[in-house]
Every structure is written in structure tokens, then in C-alpha cells.
Amino acid sequence: MAAHSAVLSASKIMNPFWVGRLGNTAKVFGTTLIRHRNKTSLTPPPAKYGGRHTVTLIPGDGIGPELLNHVREVFRFTCVPVDFEMVNVNSALETDDDMNNAITAIRRNGVALKGNIETKHTLPASVKSRNNVLRTSLDLYANVMHCQSLPGVQTRHKNIDIVIIRENTEGEYSSLEHESVSGVVESLKIITRNNSIRIADYAFKLARERGRRRVTAVHKANIMKLGDGLFLQCCREVASGYPDITFDSMIVDNTTMQLVSKPQQFDVMVMPNLYGNVVSNVCAGLVGGPGLVPGANYGRDYAVFETATRNTGKSIAEKNIANPTAMLLASCLMLDHLNLNDYASLIRNAVLTTMNETRLHTADLGGQGTTSEVVQSVMRVIQSKGQFTAEL
């Protein structure tokens, strides 16, 4: 283990150009070293207590609690070896105790599944967004969202397959604002070389792992010459170490225009925080809406899974009309992360099969189905595969 960490630290300091090339010489230290170097995914926490994993569950606000209850229902039914440690966060309080408990629990378990925590605008500006605090405290630097056209969902554009990698900890979300003169607010957007190199490296490694051919950096460097200019420069530097992958860049306004007219041209996209927010929502809209796309936040040591577009859905909470697809698919990403790939594939296939049934589509897809109908259908499909299950 000491040898692993020593070589890993050395590789982080070294020029990215050499990192890929060292992979071959590292074989002499053992195959586990190559796994650390070449994979974007961190080693998941090992199973304990009879092969069962413990995952922190943060229900959040709005539709989060009911959707996560459905996830637990499906997991119980499928006999998935995962136990949930539930930690509630009350968004109405100004104190940080709830958040500290949640962060400690995630540090303990290594993995979490969460709903969105509402950021109340009535609280003073000094109270930061709790979701943001969670991401920065755990240094979950990469937000990964895979937008794919689903066969059962009718959309204007077809054959979309885009992976969006969004820097998750800095940029416009640094929460650094001040009002030196009344009526004039200054907001700081922070772009650092370290974090830009880190996210670009993550993007290229992921592209290589998944056999993707092209990475596009999205920026506004013509206006923010220093900030986005630095980000772009870091992406170019990292790109030079991956000659097998095509790298190009596109300004964010042109990107959104191209996304709504020809989204099939995009493969992997990497970008700073705010543009990632906008672009990921555009892509979610293109494939059928926020109810369909799962998201994952990866750091060096922890991983947190949630819906990609992070909506609280207050207006549809507890009405049994929310689309459970995104949260169920997010739980499948979590199972993949825990190396429980068989369970992940089983639940994922059941969800996608259910999506093909138009009469089960929920309101966001233009249908009349309820959340519980969709979940029941998913469980029926799982049962029909002959898997050992609990009672329906």
C-alpha cells in the first residue's frame, strides 16, 4: 500500500505527458497499481458485516424522500446487499450541525445517495447552499452525467449520447461575494490550475476508459480571458498527453445553440461549474427531462449519487407523480461503484423496460402514470427475470 501511494503521489506531481506512459513500467509493481493509475473510479469501500455495504442516505427535500423510499423498496425486493444509514438535513435551520452529521456519515461509509436539499432564499447570504457545502467538504470534484436517448421516450432529437463532466467545487459556485458599495455587488469566480488540470485529466481518463473519441472543452475565454483562459490552457495541456483522443473547444453560447440543433456531434464535454449546470440541464431536456437522468459526484475518496439536474421538485412532492427513473438509475450507478454490477444491470434493465411502456410514463413525459405504478412495474420485471426476490 505504501508503494502504491508513493508512486501515485509521484505521478500526480509529474507531467501528465508521462503518466500514461508509466502505466507499462508500473506492471512490475503489480496489477493493482495499474488499476489505480488508469481508472477514473476510486476503489470503492469494501463490503463489511457479511458482505453487506453501508451507504449514507440523505432524503433531502421535495420529492427526494419519496423517491429514495422507492429505491429502498426496490433494493429490499431485489435483496441487494446494501444497508442505508439515513441522515436527515433540515434546510430551514441556520446551523450546520445537520450537515456536519451528514458529512461525517459519508466519510465513514464512503458512498452516499441523496435527494436535493433545498436552499432557502429567505436565509441570510452567509448561509451557503448545503448541497454545495457537501460537495466542497468532501472534495467531490467531478460531476459526471451521461445523457443518452432512451428508446421508449419520444424526443425531437434522437441518438444522443453525451457525457458531461463538470468541475464541481470552484468556479462561479465559490460563494465569494461582497457589496463594498450599496447596490454594487462583486462576485468572485475562482479558477485554479490544480482543479482545472484535475478535472481535465478525469475527463480524458474517462474518455479513454469508455472508448470515447472526442473531448470538447466548453468555455467563455473570449470574455473571461484569465479565468476561462486558464481552464482552456489546462485542458490543452492534458490533451497533449492523450494523442488518441481528439480535443476541441467551443464557446458556451455556441455550445447551447449546437446542442439544440445538432446534439449528435458531441461526445464527451468538460467544463467549469456554471456552464456545466446550464449544459447538463439542456442535455437533460433534450433526452426527455430531468426525471430521467442520473448524476454522480466523484472525489478522490468519496462518491455521492443523485439525480443529474438536482431539482427539489417541491411543487410535485407527495403527489405520487414524480418520475422515479432518475433516482433509480442513480442507485444503479451507485451499485456499479460498489462493484455489485449484476444487481445494477438487473435494476437498470427493469427500469428501461418499464420506460418502453408509454402508458406508464409519468406526467413529466406527458403520460398519466403514477410513481408507484412505475416502481411496481420495475419490481415485476425484476421478478420475471427469475431472480430470487422478497414478496412483492
Partner 1 sequence: SPVPCRSASSLALILFRAFLTCPDACVFQMVQDPTQFDVLVMPNLYGDILSDLCAGLIGGLGVTPSGNIGANGVAIFESVHGTAPDIAGMDLANPTALLLSAVMMLRHMGLHDHADKIQTACFDTIRDKKVRLKSLLGGLQYFCSFKSKFQTMKAACL
Q: Does 41 bind partner 1 (CB under 8 A)?
A: no
Q: How many CB atoms lie within 10 A of CB 211?
A: 6
What residues contact 286, with CB distance under 8 A and at least 6 apart? 147, 155, 156, 157, 160, 259, 260, 263
Q: Does 47 bind partner 1 (CB under 8 A)?
A: no
Among 8, 176, 260, 390, binds partner 1 (CB under 8 A): 260
Instruction: Tell me how far apart the alpha carbons of residues 308 and 82 are, in angstroms, rounded to a whole number.
Output: 22
Closest approach, Cβ 257 to partner 1, in A, equals 4
Closest approach, Cβ 351 to partner 1, in A, equals 20
- Dihedral through CA 343, CA 346, CA 347, CA 353, nearest 10? 170
Q: How many helices and strands (H and E) does the chain possess?
A: 13, 12
Q: Does 374 bind partner 1 (CB under 8 A)?
A: no
Applying CB under 8 A, which part among 139-147, 265-273, 304-312, 381-389 lies near partner 1?
Answer: 304-312
- Positions in 319-348 near partner 1 (CB under 8 A): none
The amino acid sitting at 31 is T
Among 7, 22, 190, 278, binds partner 1 (CB under 8 A): 278
Instruction: Tell me how far apart the alpha carbons of residues 287 and 175 are, in angstroms, rounded to a whole number.
Output: 31
Instruction: Tell me how far apart the alpha carbons of residues 307 and 64 are, in angstroms, rounded to a whole number.
Output: 9
Taking residues 191 to 220 in sequence order and writing x for each that binds partner 1 by CB under 8 A, - otherwise, the string is -----------------------------x
Nearer to partner 1 among residue 91 and residue 277 (C-beta)? 277
Q: Does 317 bind partner 1 (CB under 8 A)?
A: no
Closest approach, Cβ 93 to partner 1, in A, equals 21
Instruction: Tell me how far apart the alpha carbons of residues 371 and 116 are, in angstroms, rounded to a whole number.
Output: 18
- Positions in 219-258 near partner 1 (CB under 8 A): 220, 252-254, 256-258
Q: Does 127 bind partner 1 (CB under 8 A)?
A: no
Q: Does 297 bind partner 1 (CB under 8 A)?
A: no
- Positions in 104-123 near partner 1 (CB under 8 A): 121
Tell me the DSSP string of 337-391. HTT-HHHHHHHHHHHHHHHT-GGG--GGGT----HHHHHHHHHHHHHHTT-----
Closest approach, Cβ 197 to partner 1, in A, equals 24
- Burial letters 110-134, b for 16+ CB under 10 A, else e: bbbbbbbbbeeeeeeeebebbbbbb
Contact residues for partner 1, defined by CB under 8 A: 121, 220, 252-254, 256-261, 274-275, 277-278, 280-282, 284-286, 289-290, 309-311
